[in-house]
Structure 1
Amino acid sequence: MLTLAKGILHHPQAINRAAQEHLVAVIRAVVAEAPLYVPVMPGTGRPMSVRMTNCGTLGWVTDKARGYRYQETHPVTEKPWPAMPNELLALWERYAAYDKPPEACLINFYADDAKMGLHQDRDEQDLQAPVLSISLGNTCLFRVGGLERGDKTSSVKLSSGDIVVLGGEGRLAFHGVDRIYPGTSTLLKQGGRINLTLRRVNR
Protein backbone atom coordinates (compact mmCIF):
# COMPACT_ATOMS: atom_id res chain seq x y z
CA MET A 1 0.00 0.00 0.00
CA LEU A 2 1.26 3.47 -0.92
CA THR A 3 0.09 6.87 0.33
CA LEU A 4 -0.39 9.30 -2.57
CA ALA A 5 -1.54 12.16 -0.34
CA LYS A 6 -3.23 12.51 3.04
CA GLY A 7 -6.15 10.09 3.03
CA ILE A 8 -5.46 8.77 -0.48
CA LEU A 9 -4.19 5.19 -0.53
CA HIS A 10 -2.90 3.25 -3.53
CA HIS A 11 -3.04 -0.56 -3.45
CA PRO A 12 -0.99 -1.76 -6.46
CA GLN A 13 -2.07 -5.07 -7.99
CA ALA A 14 -4.77 -5.58 -5.37
CA ILE A 15 -6.71 -7.77 -7.83
CA ASN A 16 -4.91 -10.64 -9.55
CA ARG A 17 -5.28 -11.47 -13.24
CA ALA A 18 -7.85 -14.24 -12.81
CA ALA A 19 -10.00 -12.03 -10.60
CA GLN A 20 -9.65 -9.15 -13.09
CA GLU A 21 -10.90 -11.37 -15.91
CA HIS A 22 -13.84 -12.47 -13.79
CA LEU A 23 -14.63 -8.86 -12.87
CA VAL A 24 -14.60 -7.83 -16.54
CA ALA A 25 -17.15 -10.58 -17.26
CA VAL A 26 -19.28 -9.31 -14.36
CA ILE A 27 -19.13 -5.75 -15.70
CA ARG A 28 -20.00 -6.89 -19.23
CA ALA A 29 -23.17 -8.44 -17.81
CA VAL A 30 -24.01 -5.12 -16.13
CA VAL A 31 -23.41 -3.23 -19.38
CA ALA A 32 -25.65 -5.65 -21.29
CA GLU A 33 -28.47 -4.59 -18.97
CA ALA A 34 -27.49 -0.91 -18.60
CA PRO A 35 -25.69 0.14 -21.82
CA LEU A 36 -22.78 2.57 -21.89
CA TYR A 37 -23.75 6.05 -23.04
CA VAL A 38 -21.93 9.34 -23.64
CA PRO A 39 -22.59 11.86 -20.85
CA VAL A 40 -22.52 15.61 -21.50
CA MET A 41 -21.37 18.57 -19.42
CA PRO A 42 -23.93 20.73 -17.58
CA GLY A 43 -24.80 23.98 -19.29
CA THR A 44 -22.66 23.54 -22.41
CA GLY A 45 -23.86 20.08 -23.42
CA ARG A 46 -20.31 19.25 -24.45
CA PRO A 47 -19.82 15.46 -24.61
CA MET A 48 -17.31 13.88 -22.27
CA SER A 49 -14.56 11.67 -23.72
CA VAL A 50 -15.60 8.67 -21.62
CA ARG A 51 -18.63 6.44 -21.93
CA MET A 52 -20.37 5.47 -18.70
CA THR A 53 -23.06 3.51 -16.94
CA ASN A 54 -23.77 2.47 -13.33
CA CYS A 55 -24.89 -0.32 -11.07
CA GLY A 56 -26.35 -0.23 -7.57
CA THR A 57 -29.46 1.40 -6.17
CA LEU A 58 -28.29 4.78 -7.46
CA GLY A 59 -26.27 5.95 -10.44
CA TRP A 60 -24.29 9.12 -11.10
CA VAL A 61 -25.39 10.97 -14.23
CA THR A 62 -24.93 14.34 -15.88
CA ASP A 63 -26.72 16.21 -18.65
CA LYS A 64 -27.02 19.70 -20.08
CA ALA A 65 -30.27 20.67 -18.36
CA ARG A 66 -30.02 19.18 -14.87
CA GLY A 67 -26.30 18.75 -14.30
CA TYR A 68 -24.52 16.38 -11.94
CA ARG A 69 -26.72 14.19 -9.76
CA TYR A 70 -27.62 10.68 -8.61
CA GLN A 71 -30.79 8.97 -9.75
CA GLU A 72 -32.37 5.53 -9.58
CA THR A 73 -32.74 4.96 -13.34
CA HIS A 74 -30.61 4.84 -16.49
CA PRO A 75 -31.05 8.15 -18.38
CA VAL A 76 -31.46 6.43 -21.76
CA THR A 77 -33.37 3.22 -21.02
CA GLU A 78 -35.16 4.73 -17.98
CA LYS A 79 -34.86 1.33 -16.28
CA PRO A 80 -33.50 0.81 -12.74
CA TRP A 81 -29.76 0.25 -12.55
CA PRO A 82 -28.60 -3.38 -12.22
CA ALA A 83 -27.86 -4.57 -8.69
CA MET A 84 -24.37 -4.11 -7.29
CA PRO A 85 -22.43 -7.34 -7.92
CA ASN A 86 -21.21 -9.22 -4.85
CA GLU A 87 -17.64 -9.01 -6.15
CA LEU A 88 -17.72 -5.22 -5.82
CA LEU A 89 -19.33 -5.33 -2.40
CA ALA A 90 -16.53 -7.64 -1.24
CA LEU A 91 -13.86 -5.20 -2.47
CA TRP A 92 -15.61 -2.33 -0.69
CA GLU A 93 -15.74 -4.33 2.53
CA ARG A 94 -12.05 -5.13 2.29
CA TYR A 95 -10.59 -1.80 1.23
CA ALA A 96 -13.05 0.99 2.10
CA ALA A 97 -13.12 0.35 5.86
CA TYR A 98 -16.58 1.93 6.12
CA ASP A 99 -19.55 0.55 8.03
CA LYS A 100 -22.18 1.28 5.36
CA PRO A 101 -22.34 -0.36 1.92
CA PRO A 102 -21.86 1.51 -1.37
CA GLU A 103 -25.00 2.62 -3.18
CA ALA A 104 -23.50 3.40 -6.58
CA CYS A 105 -20.76 2.09 -8.81
CA LEU A 106 -19.94 4.43 -11.67
CA ILE A 107 -18.51 2.49 -14.62
CA ASN A 108 -16.36 4.63 -16.91
CA PHE A 109 -14.89 3.26 -20.13
CA TYR A 110 -11.86 5.14 -21.41
CA ALA A 111 -10.87 4.61 -25.02
CA ASP A 112 -7.12 4.96 -25.52
CA ASP A 113 -7.50 8.66 -26.41
CA ALA A 114 -9.83 9.54 -23.51
CA LYS A 115 -9.03 11.57 -20.42
CA MET A 116 -10.76 13.10 -17.40
CA GLY A 117 -10.07 16.64 -16.21
CA LEU A 118 -9.36 17.53 -12.60
CA HIS A 119 -12.54 17.31 -10.54
CA GLN A 120 -13.89 16.61 -7.06
CA ASP A 121 -16.35 13.85 -6.16
CA ARG A 122 -18.70 15.99 -4.10
CA ASP A 123 -22.24 15.13 -5.23
CA GLU A 124 -22.70 12.71 -2.33
CA GLN A 125 -24.37 13.57 0.98
CA ASP A 126 -22.11 11.26 2.97
CA LEU A 127 -18.66 12.76 2.55
CA GLN A 128 -17.33 10.67 5.44
CA ALA A 129 -17.51 7.61 3.21
CA PRO A 130 -14.49 7.08 0.94
CA VAL A 131 -14.56 6.67 -2.82
CA LEU A 132 -13.04 3.38 -3.95
CA SER A 133 -11.57 3.30 -7.46
CA ILE A 134 -10.69 0.13 -9.40
CA SER A 135 -8.57 0.11 -12.57
CA LEU A 136 -8.98 -2.55 -15.27
CA GLY A 137 -7.21 -2.63 -18.62
CA ASN A 138 -4.60 -0.24 -19.97
CA THR A 139 -2.46 1.80 -17.59
CA CYS A 140 -3.45 5.43 -17.00
CA LEU A 141 -1.66 8.49 -15.66
CA PHE A 142 -3.64 9.51 -12.57
CA ARG A 143 -3.18 13.04 -11.24
CA VAL A 144 -4.16 14.14 -7.74
CA GLY A 145 -4.02 17.54 -6.07
CA GLY A 146 -5.42 19.25 -3.01
CA LEU A 147 -8.74 20.70 -1.95
CA GLU A 148 -8.44 23.70 -4.30
CA ARG A 149 -8.24 23.42 -8.07
CA GLY A 150 -5.01 25.42 -8.17
CA ASP A 151 -3.17 23.32 -5.58
CA LYS A 152 0.01 21.50 -6.53
CA THR A 153 -0.57 18.09 -8.13
CA SER A 154 1.37 14.87 -8.42
CA SER A 155 0.92 11.94 -10.78
CA VAL A 156 1.15 8.15 -10.59
CA LYS A 157 0.57 5.40 -13.13
CA LEU A 158 -2.33 3.09 -12.29
CA SER A 159 -2.17 -0.40 -13.75
CA SER A 160 -4.83 -3.04 -14.24
CA GLY A 161 -5.84 -4.46 -10.87
CA ASP A 162 -4.85 -1.37 -8.87
CA ILE A 163 -7.19 0.10 -6.27
CA VAL A 164 -7.16 3.69 -5.02
CA VAL A 165 -9.13 4.83 -1.97
CA LEU A 166 -9.94 8.54 -1.53
CA GLY A 167 -10.87 9.07 2.09
CA GLY A 168 -10.24 11.24 5.12
CA GLU A 169 -8.46 14.48 4.23
CA GLY A 170 -8.19 13.29 0.63
CA ARG A 171 -11.90 12.62 0.14
CA LEU A 172 -12.46 15.92 -1.68
CA ALA A 173 -9.07 16.15 -3.36
CA PHE A 174 -9.08 17.19 -7.00
CA HIS A 175 -8.09 14.31 -9.25
CA GLY A 176 -8.20 13.28 -12.88
CA VAL A 177 -6.80 11.09 -15.64
CA ASP A 178 -4.32 12.79 -17.97
CA ARG A 179 -3.81 9.96 -20.44
CA ILE A 180 -4.17 6.27 -21.23
CA TYR A 181 -1.15 4.21 -22.30
CA PRO A 182 -2.24 1.97 -25.21
CA GLY A 183 -1.00 -1.60 -25.31
CA THR A 184 -0.04 -1.80 -21.64
CA SER A 185 -2.61 -4.52 -20.81
CA THR A 186 -4.11 -7.50 -22.60
CA LEU A 187 -7.13 -7.66 -20.29
CA LEU A 188 -9.54 -5.87 -22.65
CA LYS A 189 -9.45 -7.28 -26.18
CA GLN A 190 -10.21 -3.93 -27.81
CA GLY A 191 -7.89 -1.94 -25.55
CA GLY A 192 -8.91 0.98 -23.37
CA ARG A 193 -9.48 1.14 -19.63
CA ILE A 194 -12.42 0.47 -17.35
CA ASN A 195 -12.60 2.48 -14.13
CA LEU A 196 -15.06 1.50 -11.42
CA THR A 197 -15.74 3.97 -8.61
CA LEU A 198 -17.83 2.82 -5.68
CA ARG A 199 -19.59 5.53 -3.69
CA ARG A 200 -21.83 5.84 -0.67
CA VAL A 201 -24.36 8.57 -1.47
CA ASN A 202 -26.74 8.95 1.48
CA ARG A 203 -25.82 9.45 5.12
Structure 2
Amino acid sequence: MEAELFPRGRTRVAPGAVHVPDWLHADAQRELLAACRGWARPPAGLRTVRTPGGGTMTARQVCLGWHWYPYGYARTVVDGDGVPVKPFPPWLGELGRRAVSDALGAEAATGEYDIALINFYDGDARMGMHRDSDEKCDAPVVSLSLGDTCVFRFGNTETRTRPYTDVELRSGDLFVFGGPSRFAHHGVPRVRAGTAPPALGLSGRLNITLRVSGF
Protein backbone atom coordinates (compact mmCIF):
# COMPACT_ATOMS: atom_id res chain seq x y z
CA MET A 1 0.00 0.00 0.00
CA GLU A 2 1.29 3.46 -0.85
CA ALA A 3 2.09 5.74 2.05
CA GLU A 4 -0.74 8.14 2.81
CA LEU A 5 -0.25 11.84 2.33
CA PHE A 6 -1.75 12.40 5.79
CA PRO A 7 -1.17 9.29 7.94
CA ARG A 8 -4.10 8.36 10.15
CA GLY A 9 -3.56 8.86 13.84
CA ARG A 10 -5.30 7.91 17.02
CA THR A 11 -8.33 10.17 17.56
CA ARG A 12 -10.45 11.02 20.60
CA VAL A 13 -13.84 11.36 18.95
CA ALA A 14 -15.73 12.16 22.18
CA PRO A 15 -15.06 11.81 25.91
CA GLY A 16 -14.46 8.08 26.41
CA ALA A 17 -14.61 7.31 22.66
CA VAL A 18 -11.34 6.61 20.85
CA HIS A 19 -10.48 5.49 17.30
CA VAL A 20 -7.20 3.58 16.91
CA PRO A 21 -6.34 2.96 13.22
CA ASP A 22 -4.58 -0.25 12.14
CA TRP A 23 -4.79 -1.78 15.61
CA LEU A 24 -4.93 -5.32 14.20
CA HIS A 25 -1.99 -6.20 11.96
CA ALA A 26 -2.52 -8.25 8.80
CA ASP A 27 -1.90 -11.66 10.37
CA ALA A 28 -4.23 -10.91 13.28
CA GLN A 29 -6.92 -9.82 10.83
CA ARG A 30 -6.63 -13.09 8.92
CA GLU A 31 -6.81 -15.11 12.14
CA LEU A 32 -9.89 -13.24 13.34
CA LEU A 33 -11.54 -13.62 9.92
CA ALA A 34 -10.94 -17.39 9.99
CA ALA A 35 -12.58 -17.57 13.42
CA CYS A 36 -15.56 -15.51 12.20
CA ARG A 37 -16.06 -17.87 9.26
CA GLY A 38 -16.25 -20.79 11.68
CA TRP A 39 -18.72 -19.00 13.95
CA ALA A 40 -20.90 -18.07 10.97
CA ARG A 41 -21.61 -21.70 10.10
CA PRO A 42 -24.78 -23.34 11.44
CA PRO A 43 -26.03 -24.31 13.91
CA ALA A 44 -26.43 -20.96 15.69
CA GLY A 45 -24.80 -19.37 12.66
CA LEU A 46 -25.18 -16.17 10.68
CA ARG A 47 -28.82 -15.05 10.58
CA THR A 48 -31.06 -12.21 9.44
CA VAL A 49 -32.31 -10.19 12.41
CA ARG A 50 -36.00 -9.34 12.39
CA THR A 51 -37.31 -6.35 14.32
CA PRO A 52 -40.50 -6.38 16.41
CA GLY A 53 -42.19 -4.21 13.78
CA GLY A 54 -41.70 -6.85 11.10
CA GLY A 55 -38.69 -5.33 9.37
CA THR A 56 -35.27 -6.87 8.89
CA MET A 57 -31.76 -5.59 9.48
CA THR A 58 -29.66 -5.45 6.33
CA ALA A 59 -26.54 -6.52 8.22
CA ARG A 60 -26.60 -10.22 9.14
CA GLN A 61 -25.44 -11.33 12.57
CA VAL A 62 -24.03 -14.18 14.67
CA CYS A 63 -23.58 -14.04 18.45
CA LEU A 64 -21.21 -15.62 20.94
CA GLY A 65 -21.71 -16.09 24.68
CA TRP A 66 -25.17 -14.55 24.82
CA HIS A 67 -27.61 -14.35 21.92
CA TRP A 68 -28.89 -10.85 21.24
CA TYR A 69 -32.34 -10.30 19.75
CA PRO A 70 -34.40 -7.09 19.69
CA TYR A 71 -34.23 -6.13 22.54
CA GLY A 72 -32.79 -8.64 24.95
CA TYR A 73 -30.44 -11.58 25.46
CA ALA A 74 -30.94 -15.34 25.66
CA ARG A 75 -28.82 -18.47 25.89
CA THR A 76 -30.43 -19.93 22.78
CA VAL A 77 -31.06 -18.54 19.29
CA VAL A 78 -34.67 -17.72 20.09
CA ASP A 79 -35.28 -15.93 16.80
CA GLY A 80 -33.44 -18.50 14.68
CA ASP A 81 -32.84 -22.25 14.86
CA GLY A 82 -33.42 -22.38 18.62
CA VAL A 83 -30.12 -24.07 19.49
CA PRO A 84 -27.70 -22.91 22.21
CA VAL A 85 -25.60 -19.88 21.33
CA LYS A 86 -21.96 -20.56 20.50
CA PRO A 87 -19.54 -20.14 23.44
CA PHE A 88 -17.53 -16.98 23.93
CA PRO A 89 -13.82 -17.92 23.75
CA PRO A 90 -11.50 -16.67 26.52
CA TRP A 91 -8.95 -15.36 23.99
CA LEU A 92 -11.58 -13.00 22.60
CA GLY A 93 -12.16 -11.59 26.08
CA GLU A 94 -8.42 -11.05 26.46
CA LEU A 95 -8.41 -9.23 23.12
CA GLY A 96 -11.22 -7.00 24.35
CA ARG A 97 -9.44 -6.09 27.57
CA ARG A 98 -6.25 -5.32 25.68
CA ALA A 99 -8.20 -3.12 23.26
CA VAL A 100 -9.73 -1.12 26.12
CA SER A 101 -6.36 -0.75 27.82
CA ASP A 102 -4.72 0.47 24.61
CA ALA A 103 -7.54 2.91 23.81
CA LEU A 104 -8.62 4.22 27.23
CA GLY A 105 -5.92 3.13 29.66
CA ALA A 106 -5.41 0.11 31.90
CA GLU A 107 -7.74 1.50 34.57
CA ALA A 108 -10.69 1.22 32.15
CA ALA A 109 -10.06 -2.46 31.33
CA THR A 110 -11.94 -3.92 34.29
CA GLY A 111 -14.82 -5.85 32.68
CA GLU A 112 -14.93 -9.55 31.84
CA TYR A 113 -16.07 -9.60 28.22
CA ASP A 114 -18.60 -12.36 27.58
CA ILE A 115 -20.64 -11.22 24.54
CA ALA A 116 -19.65 -10.87 20.89
CA LEU A 117 -22.02 -9.57 18.22
CA ILE A 118 -20.56 -10.15 14.79
CA ASN A 119 -22.26 -8.25 11.98
CA PHE A 120 -21.64 -8.90 8.30
CA TYR A 121 -22.29 -6.03 5.87
CA ASP A 122 -22.39 -6.45 2.12
CA GLY A 123 -22.12 -3.35 -0.06
CA ASP A 124 -25.79 -2.44 0.42
CA ALA A 125 -26.06 -3.05 4.16
CA ARG A 126 -26.53 -0.27 6.69
CA MET A 127 -27.09 0.10 10.42
CA GLY A 128 -29.43 2.75 11.79
CA MET A 129 -28.58 4.92 14.76
CA HIS A 130 -29.02 2.98 18.00
CA ARG A 131 -27.60 2.54 21.50
CA ASP A 132 -26.05 -0.59 23.00
CA SER A 133 -28.22 -0.56 26.10
CA ASP A 134 -29.48 -4.11 26.67
CA GLU A 135 -26.57 -5.04 28.95
CA LYS A 136 -26.53 -4.59 32.73
CA CYS A 137 -23.02 -3.18 32.73
CA ASP A 138 -21.47 0.08 31.54
CA ALA A 139 -18.04 -1.40 30.68
CA PRO A 140 -16.66 0.02 27.41
CA VAL A 141 -17.81 -1.43 24.09
CA VAL A 142 -15.05 -2.70 21.79
CA SER A 143 -15.55 -2.57 18.01
CA LEU A 144 -13.16 -4.23 15.54
CA SER A 145 -13.43 -3.89 11.77
CA LEU A 146 -12.43 -6.35 9.04
CA GLY A 147 -12.81 -6.02 5.28
CA ASP A 148 -14.47 -3.11 3.50
CA THR A 149 -14.17 0.42 4.81
CA CYS A 150 -17.30 1.95 6.33
CA VAL A 151 -18.54 5.31 7.53
CA PHE A 152 -19.17 4.94 11.26
CA ARG A 153 -21.44 7.65 12.65
CA PHE A 154 -20.85 8.33 16.34
CA GLY A 155 -23.45 10.52 17.98
CA ASN A 156 -24.64 11.61 21.39
CA THR A 157 -26.48 10.00 24.30
CA GLU A 158 -29.68 12.01 23.98
CA THR A 159 -30.87 11.73 20.40
CA ARG A 160 -30.33 9.83 17.14
CA THR A 161 -29.77 13.12 15.32
CA ARG A 162 -26.97 15.69 15.43
CA PRO A 163 -24.49 16.34 16.85
CA TYR A 164 -22.53 13.37 15.52
CA THR A 165 -19.12 12.67 14.01
CA ASP A 166 -18.48 10.49 10.95
CA VAL A 167 -15.38 8.29 11.27
CA GLU A 168 -13.85 6.17 8.50
CA LEU A 169 -13.23 2.66 9.82
CA ARG A 170 -10.93 0.47 7.76
CA SER A 171 -9.89 -3.14 8.09
CA GLY A 172 -7.93 -3.61 11.30
CA ASP A 173 -9.25 -0.45 12.98
CA LEU A 174 -10.34 -0.36 16.62
CA PHE A 175 -13.05 1.85 18.08
CA VAL A 176 -13.76 1.83 21.82
CA PHE A 177 -16.45 3.81 23.61
CA GLY A 178 -17.11 3.91 27.33
CA GLY A 179 -17.50 6.32 30.22
CA PRO A 180 -19.71 9.29 29.26
CA SER A 181 -19.99 7.94 25.69
CA ARG A 182 -20.94 4.35 26.60
CA PHE A 183 -24.60 4.84 25.66
CA ALA A 184 -24.08 7.17 22.71
CA HIS A 185 -26.12 6.54 19.57
CA HIS A 186 -24.12 5.19 16.66
CA GLY A 187 -24.65 3.58 13.26
CA VAL A 188 -23.22 2.74 9.84
CA PRO A 189 -24.77 4.84 7.04
CA ARG A 190 -22.42 3.59 4.33
CA VAL A 191 -20.12 0.73 3.38
CA ARG A 192 -17.59 1.34 0.63
CA ALA A 193 -17.72 -1.89 -1.35
CA GLY A 194 -14.50 -3.24 -2.82
CA THR A 195 -12.18 -1.44 -0.38
CA ALA A 196 -11.07 -4.45 1.68
CA PRO A 197 -7.35 -5.34 1.59
CA PRO A 198 -7.02 -7.85 -1.29
CA ALA A 199 -4.79 -10.14 0.76
CA LEU A 200 -7.49 -10.55 3.42
CA GLY A 201 -9.80 -12.43 1.07
CA LEU A 202 -13.04 -10.88 2.32
CA SER A 203 -15.76 -9.30 0.20
CA GLY A 204 -17.85 -7.14 2.50
CA ARG A 205 -17.33 -5.89 6.05
CA LEU A 206 -17.26 -7.70 9.37
CA ASN A 207 -17.73 -5.81 12.63
CA ILE A 208 -16.88 -7.68 15.83
CA THR A 209 -18.43 -5.93 18.81
CA LEU A 210 -17.43 -7.07 22.30
CA ARG A 211 -19.49 -6.27 25.38
CA VAL A 212 -19.70 -7.10 29.08
CA SER A 213 -23.17 -8.45 29.90
CA GLY A 214 -23.29 -7.86 33.65
CA PHE A 215 -25.70 -10.80 33.88
Q: Normalising by structure 2, what TM-score?
A: 0.85
Q: CA deviation at 1:188?
A: 5.7
Structure 1 residue runs of 5 or longer lacking an equivalent are 63-67
Answering whether residue 11 of structure 2 is matched by residue 2 of structure 1, we say yes
2:38 is the alignment partner of 1:29: yes
One-letter identity of the residue aligned with 1:176: G
**Equivalent residue, structure 1, for 2:104:** none
In the other structure, the counterpart of 1:65 is: none
Q: How far 1:99 sits from its partner (Å)? A: 2.0
Q: Percent identity?
A: 38
2:109 to 94, 98, 101: 98
1:126-151, CA deviations, whole angstroms, 9 ceiling, x for partnerless residues? 12x01101101100001111112233
User: Which residue identity lines up with residue 113 of structure 2 in the other structure?
Assistant: P
> Could you say if the C-alpha distance between residues 200 and 35 of structure 1 is closer, same or farther in structure 2, counting changes exceeding 3 Å?
same
Counterparts of residues 184-195 of structure 1 (less than 5 Å)? 184-185=195-196, 186=198, 189=201, 191-195=203-207
State which of 71, 75, 87 in structure 2 corresponds to 1:83: 87
Hey, what's the Cα distance between the residues in 1 that align with 2:73 and 2:214?
10
Tell whether the 8 Å contact from 1:146 to 1:170 is kept in structure 2 after alignment: yes
1:46 to 18, 31, 55: 55
Deviation at 1:90, TM superposition (A): 2.3
| Maintained 8 Å contact 1:142/1:177 | yes
Letter in 2 for 1:70: Y
Q: Which letter does structure 2 place at the counterpart of 1:177?
A: V
> Are the counterparts in 2 of residues 7 and 170 from structure 1 also a CA contact under 8 Å?
yes
Which digits, 9 at most, give the CA deviation of each residue in 1:69-97, with x for residues without a partner?
11111232222222223442221120224
Seen in structure 2, the aligned counterparts of structure 1 residues 80 and 188 have a Cα distance that, compared at 3 Å, is farther
Contact 2:150–2:190 (CA under 8 A) maintained in structure 1: yes
Q: Which runs of 5+ in 2 are unaligned?
A: 1-9, 101-107
- The offset of 1:52, in angstroms, is 0.5
From the superposition, tell whether residues 47 and 188 of structure 1 become closer, same or farther in structure 2 (CA, over 3 Å): farther
Task: Provide the TM-score with structure 1 as the length reference.
Answer: 0.90
1:34-93 deviations in whole A, cap 9, x for unaligned? 211111112x1101111111012x12112xxxxx11111123222222222344222112
Cα distance between partner residues in 1 of 2:90 and 2:33: 13
- The answer to whether the 8 Å contact 1:26/1:85 transfers is no
- Contact kept, 8 Å, 2:29 with 2:200, in 1: the verdict is no
CA RMSD in angstroms comes to 1.5
